[in-house]
Copies of this chain bind each other. A is one copy, B any other.
Amino acid sequence: MFEKNLNIGFLLDFYGVLLSDRKRSVMDMYYNEDFSLSEIAEQIDISRQGVRDVIKKAEEELLFYEERLGLAKKMQAAEKEATELSNLSASTDIPDEIRERITRLAELIRQ
């Protein structure tokens, strides 16, 4: 059984730029455009099994990057913290400079 892995979609957003054009294009069709394996096979004129292999290799590559760098998970956690802090600071009486710096940091992380 070959199922879409939601975590891979997240890693694709993050590390997709490191994939070869071919892998990135197939992964984009599969994870972002929601094409079926057969539809992708038709688009790029290879077998359905060929598409499956490209996806599998690209997934391994994305997992390798995250396993080594761990940046996707770290940035996601920082983004969550920064958003919560930003929302809290908007409704709390604190000096403007602190509030502005919190906003700037949250924007920097979200970029």
Contact = CB atoms under 8 A, between A and B. Distances in A.
A98 B89 contact: yes
Given A17-B69, A69-B17, A78-B78, A97 B88 contact: yes
Number of chain copies forming the complex: 2
A50 B57 CA distance: 31
A83 to B, nearest CB: 10
A78 B18 contact: no
Contacts of A69: 15, 17-18
Contacts of A85: 98, 101-102, 105
A-B interface, 8 closest residue pairs, ranked by CB to CB distance from nearest:
A17-B68, A81-B105, A85-B101, A94-B94, A78-B108, A18-B68, A78-B109, A71-B71
